[in-house]
Structure 1
Amino acid sequence: MERPDWAPDNIDLSRPSVARAYDYWLGGSHNFEVDREFARQAMAAVPDLRLVARANREFLHRAVRFMLDQGIRQFLDIGSGIPTVGNVHEIAERVDPDARVVYVDIDPVAVAHSEQILADRPNAVALLEDLRHPEAILDHPETRRLLDLDQPVGLLLVSVVHAIPDQDDPYGLVKRLWTALAPGSCVAISHVTTDSRPDEMGAGARLSGRTQTPVTARTRSEVAAFFTGLDLVEPGLVWSPLWRPESPADVGEHPERMSFYVGVGRRT
């Protein structure tokens, strides 16, 4: 296929990307036919997948607003994906124009598009890096330029930890990240599960094996273990629509169908 002018040269156009499929589910345009085909197959297995993606995105928005209410003004968003409406820096800058954001993603399209959006924003940057390299993220010159790790940071791990298989020690990776942050920092995690919809979500997880970042779905107790050592803020670890909804209508009749466990922990 012809390479769009916004696509970096190092993109493999023959292999789908979860980040670009997620962009498609949210109505974005920075995806390829291989991503759309994968996304449609996943939607055949999980027909309401667009709603699942939106509920996850809305959790991100609420978590960022919560952290802002706690006085946090700097954010590290790992697995940030392709920018869409309501990016972290947009939410943060409404509260404080001097808020700072470091976006990190493994997908070159996500980073390239983020760089275009952030070109005239000195307080936000996008890095091409991997969650499996926490020190490379924390010690990156741009991270050090923008974030003061001696002050509280909002660490956002939204829809990304399930891309780390057990053999890569996801629990150790997450702990290495938050232990590098100052007391008062907060950690938001959302993680896919097959607990409530084993057949549908299981099929979707198996399909992700075609991508660079196949999904490892985990149980509630396994997701809860990521918060070990942190103080879980109310309402604890819940289905994505149940985390501090802004209205009863946001919850819906079956929040468990959104198939993401989410929570925010505070470092004390």
Structure 2
Amino acid sequence: MTAMEGPADPFSTDGVPARWGFVRQLLLGNSKDYYPADLDVAQRALAVAPDAATWAWQERAFLHHIVGYLAHGNATYRRGTTQLIYLGCGLPEPNWRCGDQLHHIARREDPRARVLYADPDATFATYGRALTAEAEVTKIPTRGDDHGTCVETDVLAKVIEAGPDDPAQVLNAPEARAVLDLAQPIDVLLPAAHFLSDPAAVLDRWADALPDGSRIMITHLEQHEDTAEVAQVYRDAFGVCSPRSADEVADLLAGYDLLLDPGVVPLPDWRPPPLPEDPARVPVCRILCAVGQLKRTVRAGLLSDQHLARRYREGESLRTLAQAATSSKETVRRRLHRQGVQMRAKKQPPPSGLSAERLAALYIQGATLKELKGLSGASYGWVRAQLVEQGVELRSRGYKSRPSARSSATGGDQP
């Protein structure tokens, strides 16, 4: 630096990188808090995708809608939301005191509702802590006595500095333990999952960390010609932005046992409120959303095939999976086979000259498992596994083979 250049400006914002939390607020029309880089990204996004601002408003409306919908509880979802984690919360809503924060919305549906906000950006977390301070001074009247009415502090919301990719950091934070009961189901909001470098891994980690009955909601930029250019703008600014199709978004939730109806749909189509007077004026939304639920110990059929496959690959036995799915081991084998899982053989059969195809043909002709076991010299489990891998539907117990089938199984029609 030369004498003529003078000292550097300590308040200069040059070089401050763009952050999605600020860009999102600009797209929503809040021009109070941002840096030059944020304004540049927002302007470039609107230049290539004029509907980007509308998508931001639709996402905001969806978050409010789904929190109120899930908090209310209904015949489909059975229970309301009383515990909520909002990942990547960004800046609080500009009209903070108008009751538009997520914990206000959930609280209107259920007074027991508690919310933990989390964002990896220290600036956003600091904003949030300052504005959620009022949530800690609300008083609830409790049992009175001779000395007057007792009151207790009602903590509605807490804010922590933590990213969505580390569930342990979020759930083990003192603020989380102060506001949440980690033994009870928790609903998690994860908007803008297209900014994660590996969203499938992140969602799997949350599936492993959350208690049974928990739900997770994601929003995701759709892969479409309308989003190609804006995705590149975001990649240039943030390093990662990967649009996906509806099927690919559904695959991200493979670790969850249920994909709640209506599945992966554009934001306005997820159990929407009444349509506006002129729905033709509403632009097509290119932000997808979905809700996955963890229900490991439920009636047969609700454990997803993907979840069974993942647990089997991790080393769980067929017996354990059958108990978890409340179904037979044969049914579990068949579902694993649909996922392309290579079954672990309990023991290798002795050489018998019978192929799996031949075993399947004999079984279809009417041979029993006992006869095939004797013919192959293998265990019942191995014979069943070979038949399932051949796509054979196993018969119920008590079946007796036909004489022609019995002779075939004992070698009568073998070449």
Give the structure-1-normalised TM-score. 0.86
Residues 189 and 217, structure 2, Cα contact 8 Å, conserved in 1: yes
Which residue of 2 is the match for residue 176 of structure 1? 205
Q: CA offset at residue 44 of structure 1?
A: 0.3
The alignment status of 1:114 with 2:128, answered yes or no, reads yes
The alignment status of 1:164 with 2:209, answered yes or no, reads no
Structure 1, residues 238-260: CA drift from partner, whole Å, max 9, x if none? 01111111112299448783111
Residues 240 and 258, structure 1, Cα contact 8 Å, conserved in 2: yes
Aligned residues: 255
Which residue of 1 is the match for residue 376 of structure 2? none
Q: Larger relative contact order (C-alpha < 8 A, sep ≥ 6)?
A: 1
Which residue of 1 is the match for residue 309 of structure 2? none
Structure 1, residues 113-172: CA drift from partner, whole Å, max 9, x if none? 11111012232111111122222112222112211121111110112x21112xxx3212
Structure 1, residues 158-188: CA drift from partner, whole Å, max 9, x if none? 12x21112xxx32121121133222222211
Give the structure-2-normalised TM-score. 0.57
The one-letter code sitting in structure 1 at the alignment partner of 2:270 is W
Q: Which among 244, 250, 256 is matched to residue 224 of structure 1?
A: 250
Return the alpha-carbon distance in structure 2 between the equivalents of residues 142 and 90 of structure 1. 18
Return the alpha-carbon distance in structure 2 between the equivalents of residues 254 and 172 of structure 1. 38
Alignment CA distance shift 1:139-1:224 (3 Å): same
The alignment status of 1:43 with 2:55, answered yes or no, reads no
Return the alpha-carbon distance in structure 2 between the equivalents of residues 90 and 213 of structure 1. 34
Which residue of 2 is the match for residue 7 of structure 1? none
Residues 168 and 209, structure 2, Cα contact 8 Å, conserved in 1: no
Return the alpha-carbon distance in structure 2 between the equivalents of residues 179 and 250 of structure 1. 44
Return the alpha-carbon distance in structure 1 between the equivalents of residues 186 and 171 of structure 2. 12
The alignment status of 1:19 with 2:46, answered yes or no, reads no
Q: CA offset at residue 42 of structure 1?
A: 0.6
Alignment CA distance shift 1:171-1:254 (3 Å): farther
Which residue of 2 is the match for residue 136 of structure 1? 169
The one-letter code sitting in structure 2 at the alignment partner of 1:72 is T
Alignment CA distance shift 1:179-1:98 (3 Å): same
Q: CA offset at residue 212 of structure 1?
A: 3.9
Return the alpha-carbon distance in structure 1 between the equivalents of residues 281 and 249 of structure 2. 20
Return the alpha-carbon distance in structure 1 between the equivalents of residues 176 and 264 of structure 2. 29
Residues 20 and 82, structure 1, Cα contact 8 Å, conserved in 2: yes
Structure number with greater Rg is 2
Alignment CA distance shift 1:3-1:143 (3 Å): farther
**Structure 2 residue ranges without an equivalent (≥5):** 1-8, 74-78, 137-155, 296-415
Alignment CA distance shift 1:202-1:35 (3 Å): same
Q: Which among 101, 104, 117 is matched to residue 90 of structure 1?
A: 104
The alignment status of 1:81 with 2:90, answered yes or no, reads yes
Residues 51 and 283, structure 2, Cα contact 8 Å, conserved in 1: no
The alignment status of 1:265 with 2:279, answered yes or no, reads no
Return the alpha-carbon distance in structure 2 between the equivalents of residues 40 and 204 of structure 1. 11
Q: Percent identity?
A: 28
Alignment CA distance shift 1:108-1:13 (3 Å): farther
Alignment CA distance shift 1:182-1:206 (3 Å): same
Return the alpha-carbon distance in structure 1 between the equivalents of residues 211 and 281 of structure 2. 37
- The Cα RMSD (Å) is 2.4
Alignment CA distance shift 1:259-1:235 (3 Å): same
The alignment status of 1:188 with 2:217, answered yes or no, reads yes
Q: CA offset at residue 95 of structure 1?
A: 2.2
SS class of match (1:262):
strand
Alignment CA distance shift 1:62-1:12 (3 Å): farther
The one-letter code sitting in structure 1 at the alignment partner of 2:208 is T
Residues 239 and 256, structure 1, Cα contact 8 Å, conserved in 2: no
SS class of match (1:114):
helix
Alignment CA distance shift 1:238-1:27 (3 Å): same
Alignment CA distance shift 1:149-1:213 (3 Å): farther
**Structure 1 residue ranges without an equivalent (≥5):** 5-10
SS class of match (1:38):
helix
Residues 16 and 35, structure 2, Cα contact 8 Å, conserved in 1: no
